[in-house]
Structure 1
Amino acid sequence: MKIREVDENKKQFISLLLLADEQENMVDRYLEKGTMYVLEDGDVKAECVVTDEYSVLQVGTGDSPLTIPFYEKCGFVRSNKIPNFFTDNYDHPIYEGGVQLIDMVYLQRCL
């Protein structure tokens, strides 16, 4: 396994990025803000975009019974939410675990 930084052509990983955020123009909003890393083991297994700006790690996700418990088990706590984020910003309904995502929930954890 190898982790490497991606400096150019970050959009080559768009298919993987779209698994986390299925609308490309939303991915474009944050793609260039940070440093991209990919985990490779024969092929790309994971990727992330990291910024070195804060002392708190914050994630935003849909209010889903699949993702919220995962983040809480990792030590994150709910901090705020953006009502109607998914219905206002996506051109189609987004479902996860059989639940339509409406609000964006932010969770945070001190670094």
Structure 2
Amino acid sequence: MEIRKVETDKKRYLDLLLLADEQEDMIDRYLERGTMYVLEEDGVKAECVVTDEGNGVLELKNLAAAPAFQGRGYGKAMVDFLVRTYRGQYAALQVGTGDSPSTILFYESCGFRRHHLVRNFFTEHYDHPIYDCGVQLVDMVYLQREL
């Protein structure tokens, strides 16, 4: 397994990016200013994008594993890589996500804790309703972990 930085043509991974953020113009808001990594193991299995949000906070804007490879530890491997890579450079790693039990549990299992909520984020910033497990996402839940 190898994790490498993607310097150019980040949109070639758009299919993976859209798994975590299903509206392309929302991805465009952070993709070029972010640092992108892909995890390869006999092909690309996962990707992530992080951005510097100031005040010592690094934000995980996008994390996705290819559908056929979900549940195999690739997402956790990416989070662990980010923690190792950015420890000492940032005080905290944060992630914003929909209030979906499975997603929240995943991040909590990676050492994140609920930090704050942005009400109506998904209904105000997306041009269509976003659903996860049949439930419409409304609020953005931010979780953080210390680096």
Q: TM-score, normalised by structure 1?
A: 0.91
Of residues 44, 51, 75, the one that matches 2:111 is: 75
Write out the 4+ residue segments of structure 1 that deviate beyond 2 Å after TM superposition.
50-54
Q: Deviations over 1:37-91 (max 9, x none)?
A: 1111222101112346531000000011221122122221111111000000111
RMSD value, Cα: 1.4
Question: Aligned pair count?
Answer: 111
- Structure-2 change in CA distance of 1:72 and 1:2 (3 Å): closer
Instruction: Answer with 12-21 or 27-36: which moved more.
Output: 27-36
Q: Distance in 2 between matches of 1:51 and 1:85?
A: 19
- Unaligned segments of structure 2, at least 5 residues: 57-89
Q: TM-score, normalised by structure 2?
A: 0.70
Tell me the equivalent position of 2:41: 41
* Superposition map of 1:11-90 within 5 A: 11-51=11-51, 54-90=90-126
- Unaligned segments of structure 1, at least 5 residues: none
Q: Give the structure with the larger helix fraction.
A: 2
